[in-house]
Structure 1
Amino acid sequence: MHELILGGAKSGKSRCAETRAAHWLALPGHGAVLVATAMAGDDEMRARIERHRADRAARVPGLATREEPRALAAVLREESLPGRMVVVDCLTLWLTGLLMPLDGAPVDDPAAEVDALVDALAAARGPVVLVSNEIGLGVTPMSRQARRFVDELGRLHQRVAAASTRVTLMVAGLELPLKGPR
């Protein structure tokens, strides 16, 4: 069973995914890995990433971490095993890395990367929980680049939601089920 967890900043979506992983890890013979997609472009982001590592280790000690900002489909194929949950945190930063990378050229059209991700999700041999920011509820951004990002993220969410058994919206730490078993 795959799940997409959406929400705004500090809505509780990462904590919700960690809770899913903790419950999974409590079952005999189960493992879990978190695939972190953030890249540290400045000191504040480096500190944020380090804080997330430490907090995650304290909250979910058995949750392994793999950091991969770009090759998400390949990592999902490698890490997905029977009995192992893969948590991806988050799709928003992954897409940012494709469209607005800190180093290298941006991807002109992320459709092939999204197709590869959806294919990897369909081929996953264990459960996958994907976290992403829902940013399409606000006003239309003023810049062309920001509008494109909102559009591409919305398309990504639609594709991943269609491929997921369950979709959850997080608001103020509360889970609002949108699709699938409750």
Structure 2
Amino acid sequence: MILVTGGARSGKSAFGEKLAKTRCEQVLYIATSVITDSEMAARVARHKTQRPAHWRTWEGFQQLGDVIRQQVKPGEGVMLECITTLIANLLFEQSGAESPDTLDFAPLEAFIDQQISDLIDASKSCRTPVYIVTNELGMGITPENRLARHFVDIAGRANQRLAAAADEVWLVVSGIGVRIK
């Protein structure tokens, strides 16, 4: 399992894709984004044109451990983009329409933690490389609203677990990747 982290627009996705291209001929690209408006649709379309056309794409953010166990073909690497989008989608889905001011984040984080544990288990048992991209959120100020603070906390703890389990960890800054593990 190879974790690629960095700030927003740091070039981490392109860097992760470059690693995958150099090490894997075929790749299953797991895209965790949900298209909610035309701007997001344009982003997704741009990402699709930047990766090799022969890579397969699976779109979704739930039960990704099962996706890795059941969808990866022999010899095919995996590129998962991205953990923080996955966490945001799971938070939104699991919280329903409840106000962020009244949410009980402990069970939400427990559910996300289970999803991350299953993803780690599947990635570690996968016979081909699994590249996981995530945003490094711990380098900024503490957010002022409750939802954002909990999101940063949950994502930070998930990233720490992923980094501890990873065989390699890369930090990308301004498009330059530095191996930190």
Do both proteins adopt the same fold according to a TM-score greater than 0.5, normalized to the shorter chain?
Answer: yes
Match of 2:78 in 1: 86
**% identical aligned pairs:** 38
For residue 103 of structure 1, report the CA deviation from its aligned partner.
Answer: 9.5
Aligned twin of 2:29: 34
2:171 matched to which residue of 1? 169
State the secondary structure of the residue aligned to 1:78. Answer: helix
SS at match of 1:101: helix
Q: Which residue number in structure 2 is paired with residue 50 of structure 1? A: 45
Aligned counterparts of 2:166 and 2:141: Cα–Cα separation in 1 = 27
Contact 1:38 1:93 in 2 (8 A): yes
Runs of 4 or more consecutive aligned structure 1 residues displaced over 4 Å after TM superposition: 102-107
1-structure distance, mates of 2:82, 2:89:
11
- What is the alpha-carbon distance in structure 1 between the residues aligned to residue 130 and residue 79 of structure 2? 6
Residue 16 of structure 2 is aligned to residue 4 of structure 1: no
Cα deviations by residue, 1:7-34 (Å, 9 ceiling, x for unpaired): 1111111111111122124xxxx42111
2: distance between equivalents of 1:19 and 1:55?
A: 11
Q: Assess, with a 3 A threshold, how the Cα gap between structure 1 residues 3 and 105 changes in structure 2: closer, same or farther.
A: farther
| One-letter amino acid matched to 2:79 | V
TM-score, length basis structure 1: 0.86
Alpha-carbon separation, structure 2, partners of 1:160 and 1:3: 9
CA distance in 2, matches of 1:103, 1:155: 19
The answer to whether 1:16 aligns with 2:15 is yes
Out of 61, 69, 79, the position equivalent to 1:77 is: 69
Higher helix share: 2
TM-score, normalising length: structure 2: 0.86
Structure 1 position 78, deviation (Å): 1.8
